[in-house]
Every structure is written in structure tokens, then in C-alpha cells.
Structure 1
Amino acid sequence: MEKFQLLRTPIRSIVVDDSACDVNDLAVCGGVQVTVPATEGWADLVQRAVDSDWTGIEALAGIDGTVADVVRRNASAHGQEVSDTVMSVRTWDLEADTQRTFAVVDCGFGEGTTRFEERLDDGSPRYEILDVNFLFRQGDLTRVSDDELARRLSVALGDRVPLRTVADAVAP
């Protein structure tokens, strides 16, 4: 139980690495790498992403929980899912009693599931998610890829609309 208590202490705040966006940078994606503590509220992250013109999670604005909760179940809505922007997930493996970081390809992302839902024999989660690395593209527009959202916004499927418009339309 002491190990579990240690994990509940604050880890760190959001860390943003936008160096790939420098004028002379040769990075192909020109993305922004963002490391977010697992305990951060998902709605707060979506708000920050929309305010910062980071695309990829604006349609997930209506999802409740912490970053860990949303990543653990690979939440999806309106044509977007969390795994679209995850680079890696840092965890504490309670079975092995060690820290483990999983690259996106090792997270077992599927429709509504991940490897982080794995349970120990006593029914408790095997992995305590510590933080998540996201890679966001920059932009102030997003493509509407969901029929329901397109109808709600009165636009055609495939149209590009401001991030804020999408986030506001799906937020509770």
C-alpha cells in the first residue's frame, strides 16, 4: 500500500515541447509534444489544446474524467479517438513493481480498450498511469468526419471548421 501512496503525489504539470515548430527545424510533422500528468482533468487538456491550436482531441471535449481515465479506455467520439494523438504512456506496473513506458504501438489500443485495463488477480488495475505523451499537429481548423457532428454544425461531412466550434458543439 505504501507504493500506491507514493504514486498519488503530484507528478508534474503539463510540459510542452514545441521545438519542432521552429522555422529552421527539419521535423517532418511540425508537431507539438505535450506531456500531461495522468491526474489532469481531460476537459482541462482539451481546453488547453483548443486554446493552443493543437488539433486532434477537440471532438473529445464532451468526455468526462482524468487523462488516465480517458486514455485507459481509449475513448472516442465524433470521429476522433484518444489513440490518434498518443505517443507513449508512462506507467507503474504494480505486478512487476517497476516503471514502464509504452510506445503507442505497445499500448494495445482498440475500440474502447487498451492494455491498461488489464487486472491483477485481486481485480485491481495492473497499471497505474503516471503521465501521457501526446503529439499534436498545429492548426486552428479540424475536418468534420462524423455525420452527427456535421448535422449539429450544419456543415457537410469533410468540411473544415474552427477547433473551438467543434469543442463547443460537443461539450456538455
Structure 2
Amino acid sequence: MRQTDSRHFGMSALETPTLAQLTTIGVGGPVDQFVEPQTEEEFIAAVCSADAAGLPLLVIGGGSNLLISDEPFHGVVVRDKRHGVSALKTGIALNETAGAVKIVAGAGVNWDDFVAFCVSSGFSGVEGLSGVPGTVGASVVQNIGAYGQEVASSVSSVRVFDRKNGDIQKLNPADMHFGYRSSALKSSMYSAPATPADHYFPTPRYVVLSVSFMLQRSDANEVAFGQLAKALGVSMGERMPIVAIRQAVLRVRASKGMLEDPGRYASRWMQGCKDQSNISQAALQRILAKLGNGVVARDIEEAKPDFDRHSCGSFFMNPILTQAQAATLPEDAPRFDAMLSDGRPGVKTSAAWLIDHAGFHKGHKVRKEAKAGLSTLHTLALTNRGGADAGDIAELAKTLQDGVEERFGVRLVPEPVVVGMNLR
């Protein structure tokens, strides 16, 4: 187990990373303890040790869904270093269809590495989630979704460590209570939207150890999202090779600046967190995206930071409104059928649309010299334009929240886990 702390582990003084070095948005203060378990036993022991000592615990994956203050984190940061993926069984069995295959991945596996493995192996069901940053463990906490797929639709079970009872449990999909960007795991951290619970924050009560997925043994799948169909030049519902779907998703995400910057893996604190071949592919996607967005080839420097990618991804969740609330929006506001948290019919609208139509356009900054700004490619990504701190990002976020609420009466809720700051 990699442990870097001089006060609690009896080691000589060693450097620990800042959270800015571990997160995709590149902000966050120093940490007291940083632990990288190599086995499940070490992983559970690190969690139990922090809890027994009454220390704040942050189990971190790829650092893509976190906004953490610049103050020191006086607790334990644990990053799972287990990267194993295996296909356990194939064929027909209870609750399986012909051609189904069960894949088990450790919580620490880089999510896009997992998708790449599935696509190259001819396992369909997650290719639409290509390029989503983070890890397998985080994918089920957040119930990630994109381009017509949600991780919930392919999860068979989730193996977790229950911090309350101190035992290992297997949670089935029904136990997970998956919803739009939510799960029972995520809910355990909050008493209300964006309001941390008294216990189990910023890490859920149930810490993911591994996830079992049920995928189809097929090299093709239906195209289930309009923008993706357009990128592929096909009709919705048409079947396409999953390799082609993955590449189209990566192109679309890259054109919006919604892929992480592969340059972050050159840092010694990030080395070994992502497969090297996929880092090289991501670097190529970065260059192709810049060319596609009108950047002249001679102006592309691979080592130059791509600030549009220095973000938490989509920063705000798409609001789900009551029908009465939705009726107050302009006629051209996006509307989609959805369920409210209490099970009543609701209406989902677009956070990006609300931000843009409240007057905050691509590239918006609160001040000309501000070091944080909206992406120049996507209004839903708040970005570190170089040298920003967490306060700069929070100021921009609050400006957007206040502006959208004033214009439309809707308070946007952050999608990332926000630690040490109030963005309610």
C-alpha cells in the first residue's frame, strides 16, 4: 500500500499531492494522508482506519467529479490502485439472455479503459459511455449516462464495503435505486440536494469494491441518440459496429471539450491510473478535435494545456421540474418526460440551455481577468483557464446559479461532489 504521511504512519516526511494534482479541474488544497491500496484487503483497511480515527475520508477515483476547496484536507485520501477486469461467464443462465457475458471490474479501473476493453472484446452495452472520465467505482455512484446509455442499464450487481456495519455486501440493481445521476450510494452522502449529510460525506456509506456488468456478446448495437446518429450519418435505431459508435462518441465529446486532458497522466501522481495505449489515443483525439474546431495544425502544441478540458465535465444537473414549474419556462425551452423524486410525473429541461439563455454564453467570465470561465465549446462546463483556484470556480458557479434563478426561477444543482464550499 502506498502511504505518504509522516504524522500518522510513522514514516519520514514525504511529499503528498494536492487535490489540484489529482482532479481534472486542477484545483484543491493539500492533503494530510494519501493512500493507494494495491489489494482489496488493503483498500478496506484504509477505509476502516480513517473511520476508526474519526478522520474525514475521501475515496477518489479519476478526480473528475470533484470540486474541493483550497483549504488543507485534514483527513485521508484513498485511491484504489486495483485495475483488474475479467469476463467471468458466458452463455445462457438465470437472468441472462443468449450471448450475454458477465464482466467484473475493480472499482479503481479507469472507466474509459473498461469501455475500450469491452469494445475490443466485442461486448456491447457501454460503448455510448466512451470518454466519460473517472473510474468504474464512481460510475455507479453517479449513474453516469451519455448518448443513449446509462450505466444502470448494464449493471448486474455492485460489491461494496458497508462502513456502518463493517461488512461486505452485494447490492443488486433494485438495491442501488438508480435514478438520473443518482444512486443509493450517492444519496447516502446528502440530506438534501447539494447539502452534505452529517455522516458519510464526501464518501458514501457503501464504498464500491467491484462492479459486475451484464453485456451482450455482439460487435454491433443500436444507435440510441440523435446527435450520435447524425455524427454517424445513420438513422436512430440503426445498428452500427460498436467500434464505430465508440469512435463517434469520442469525436463528439472531443469537439465539445468534454474529454479529459491526457496530459494530466504525465504527472507522477497520475501515472499508472490509465492504460498507456488509451492515453496515446486520447492525445490523438485531442489534436483531431482542435483541427475540427478550426485550429491550424501549425498552432497545435501537444504539450500545451487544453483549458476547455480542465473541468469537472457537466457541472450542473439538468433540472427535473414539476409540470407547473415547467409551464413557466419559455416555449422553446427543452422539455423531456421525467420522474420527480417522489414518483410524480415531471419535466426535465436542459441546464446548458438555461445557462445560455440567462445570458451566460460560451467563454463567459465574471471578469475579463478571471482565471475561471465557461468552456469556449460548451456552456455546461466550468473550466480552469490556468491558475484558477477553487474560489474562482465557486464564484463562477454561484454567478450562473443566481443568474438562472433570477431569469427562470430554477436553482441549478451541482453535479460534482463539492467539498469545503457551499454551492446550494
Deviations 1:3-40 (A, max 9, x none): 4178866557222123427xxx8964331111100000
Q: Higher relative contact order at CA 8 Å, sep ≥6: structure 1 or structure 2?
A: 1
Deviations 1:18-63 (A, max 9, x none): 3427xxx896433111110000000010000000111100010021
Query: Matches of residues 1-172 of structure 1 in structure 2 within 5 Å?
Result: 2-4=45-47, 13-20=84-91, 28-117=97-186, 118-119=188-189, 121-122=198-199, 123-124=201-202, 125-171=204-250, 172=254
- Which amino acid in structure 2 is aligned with residue 16 of structure 1? A
In structure 2, C-alpha distance between the alignment counterparts of 1:97 and 1:108, rounded to whole Å: 21
Q: Specify the SS of the correspondent of 2:185.
A: helix
In structure 2, C-alpha distance between the alignment counterparts of 1:35 and 1:115, rounded to whole Å: 20
Any unmatched runs of 5+ in structure 1?
none
- Which amino acid in structure 1 is aligned with residue 85 of structure 2? I
Q: Percent identity?
A: 30
- Which amino acid in structure 2 is aligned with residue 83 of structure 1? A
Residues 30 and 138 in structure 1, CA contact (< 8 A), matched pair in contact too: yes
Tell me the TM-score normalised to structure 1 length: 0.88
Cα separation, partners in 2 of 1:9 and 1:159, compared to 1, 3 Å: closer
Residues 74 and 114 in structure 1, CA contact (< 8 A), matched pair in contact too: yes
Structure 1 stretch 30-39 or stretch 3-12: which is displaced more?
3-12
Q: Specify the SS of the correspondent of 1:18.
A: strand
Residues 112 and 131 in structure 2, CA contact (< 8 A), matched pair in contact too: yes
- Which amino acid in structure 1 is aligned with residue 84 of structure 2? S
In structure 1, C-alpha distance between the alignment counterparts of 2:157 and 2:150, rounded to whole Å: 15
In structure 1, C-alpha distance between the alignment counterparts of 2:246 and 2:81, rounded to whole Å: 28
Q: CA deviation at 1:157?
A: 0.8
Q: CA deviation at 1:2?
A: 4.8
Deviations 1:117-136 (A, max 9, x none): 11262423211100000011
Tell me the TM-score normalised to structure 2 length: 0.37
Q: CA deviation at 1:111?
A: 1.2
Q: Specify the SS of the correspondent of 1:105.
A: helix
Any unmatched runs of 5+ in structure 2?
1-43, 50-77, 190-196, 255-424
Q: RMSD of aligned C-alpha atoms?
A: 2.4
Instruction: Name the larger-Rg structure.
Output: 2
In structure 2, C-alpha distance between the alignment counterparts of 1:12 and 1:47, rounded to whole Å: 14
* 2:338 equivalent in structure 1: none
Q: Specify the SS of the correspondent of 2:207.
A: strand
In structure 2, C-alpha distance between the alignment counterparts of 1:9 and 1:28, rounded to whole Å: 32
Cα separation, partners in 2 of 1:60 and 1:4, compared to 1, 3 Å: same
In structure 1, C-alpha distance between the alignment counterparts of 2:206 and 2:87, rounded to whole Å: 24
Residues 11 and 130 in structure 1, CA contact (< 8 A), matched pair in contact too: no
In structure 1, C-alpha distance between the alignment counterparts of 2:79 and 2:146, rounded to whole Å: 29
Matched length: 169
